[in-house]
């Protein structure tokens, strides 16, 4: 039986947060805003990152936060170039909601936060 070091999971999750996979899933969620499947795909990855980030020392948590922030800035800039200006505000609300999120929030809750004002009117 192979044993893993206690740092194996945090290191793997840090690699995930800085990977192209994480960035592209976030970018795709921002561009395809109202698609629940696309958003859920990103939320699963982000839940793993956020849970491990919360459960680690302050030094490692800061590294997670910086890595995650870099992915968000990069994805937001890329999504802004692809989006129609008419839905730019919705994408920004979704991006801000995802950035501030706590693990476990559903795709529907994020979509309601980002798009509810436009559904009513």
Binning pLDDT at 50, 70 and 90, where does residue 120 land? very low
pLDDT digits (tens, 9 = 90+) for 51-81: 887 776 666 778 888 999 999 999 999 998 8
Q: Cβ(110)–Cβ(101) under 8 Å?
A: yes
Residue length, the chain? Answer: 121
Split into its structural domains, the chain has a count of: 1
Comparing C-alpha atoms, which of 56, 106, 98 is closest to residue 75? 98
In a domain, 112, yes or no: yes
Q: Per residue in 2-52, pLDDT tens?
A: 665 656 778 888 899 999 999 999 999 998 877 888 888 898 888 888 888
Structural domain harbouring 14: 10-120
Residue 2 domain-assigned (yes or no): no
**Residue 42 belongs to some domain of the structure:** yes
Residue 53 near residue 65 (C-beta atoms within 8 A): yes
pTM of model > 0.75: yes
On whether residue 4 sits in a domain, the answer given is no
């Amino acid at each position: 039986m192979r044993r893993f070091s206690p740092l194996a999971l945090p290191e793997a999750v840090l690699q995930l947060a800085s990977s192209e996979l994480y960035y592209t899933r976030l970018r795709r969620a921002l561009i395809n805003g109202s698609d629940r499947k696309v958003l859920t795909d990103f939320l699963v990855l982000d839940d793993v990152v956020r849970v491990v980030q919360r459960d680690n020392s302050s030094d490692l948590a800061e590294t997670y936060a910086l890595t995650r922030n870099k992915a968000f800035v990069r994805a937001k800039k890329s999504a802004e170039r692809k989006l129609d200006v008419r839905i730019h505000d919705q994408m920004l609300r979704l991006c801000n909601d995802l950035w501030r999120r706590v693990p476990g929030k559903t795709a529907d809750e994020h979509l309601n936060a980002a798009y509810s004002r436009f559904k009513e009117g």
